[in-house]
Chain A
Amino acid sequence: MEEIKASMAGNVWKITVNTGDEVKPGDEVVILESMKMEIPIAAESAGTVESIVVEEGSFINEGDVLVKIQS
């Protein structure tokens, strides 16, 4: 299982996948917003979105888990 983590602190601006979606490495799963900039976060391995841990609009710290992928 891959846990996709936030690369920096910020707001969850958009979640671009749903539970059950198939993802490939490099697919964007979440867009964070930090210091007035959008930062896309991508999956590193292929798999199925098992759960989405955060909500749009919530504030997260660096290293927080955003999405879990079942390979």
Chain B
Amino acid sequence: MNASNFINPFSIREDEGSFAGDFYTRNFERQARKDSIILNLGPQHPSTHGVLRVLVELDGEYVLRAEPVLGYLHRMHDKMGEVKTPYQYLPNMGRVDYLHPIAWNWAFVGAVERLASIEPPKRAEYLRIISCELNRISSHLLWWGAFVLDLGGVTPILYAFEEREMINDILQIITGSRLTMSYFRFGGVCADCDSRFIKLTKDFIPYLRERLKIYKALVTDNIILRRRLEGVGPMDTDICLRYGATGPVLRASGLSSDTRRNIPYSLYDNFEFAIPAGPSNDCFGRYLIRLFEIETSLQIIEQAIESLPDGPILIDKAPKANYKLPAGESYFAVEGARGQIGVHLVSDGGKNPYRVKLRSPGFSNLSLFAEAAKGTLLADAIAILGSLDLVIPEVDR
């Protein structure tokens, strides 16, 4: 039989001259083995959480090569920073990463404050810390549920949402919204907390600790989950540093690195909390690190809510919509739920910033995937993808 007549139904690489598939697929297939399957995971795939697309080359169930394709949720947040005044750009920050919007709020507000030399009042700093840590817990809870969902367990995500709803209720009291919060202002926060907020938060801490015990028995100790995760997708410190991975991914690899400690901002130095470095650098290590971080955040909230000082929440004459940034540049980094969030702000003294560069941790963490997924089973690749805690809007910005 003539080789050119044989059409492999699972390949479009025979007609290389034509324009079948898009640029990425064609480029990917050019380097592929002749007997492998090229599979497009996503952009509409249940386990890619949104619109990530991953090209994988499969030999049976084994992943030979994987390549993430980005840009399906690109919303030009960087560019929008250049056409809006800093104040008008604030609501964008809640939408970059919808799971941890407060940290993004903080990164941008912090950059502006550093450039304009604004010092927020002490009560505002405490409220920032409490809201940011609450938000971090809710982000980790959703990740936990979604990760187990990736592994096939449907129920835990609904339990996680119970606590997440409670956190949303608490955060709604001060921020006014439940998902895309725009809470921070230059020089403080926009709303003060009331006694109901403090009571709900204080009640929530022991409640969540009880629930975490149930989660441990239901999921963490489950033999199926452990066998699925232990030893899967190891990422050592070296590769994490080379790709610029931060957050729980880096900490699980054994390096105790946290922006809250390494580049202290706000009043984090006043609180006692441990920065855990993982027991193992596999998926299970990353899983444990995140569950431990929930406990860390609870400790911080506990200390902060006990010592919440009185005072104003916003400086007098806080910058408003017509505020002009002084010329210069600044960089501010905070620790988000997924890693180091950074905002680089350049201003030429005009109405709008000259350039806003957002550094999203998910983007760097995702770049590890191609390396870690090599040679694993397809199910393991899904587990690795889940363990990186990707939020696609944040990766694409």
Partners in one complex: no
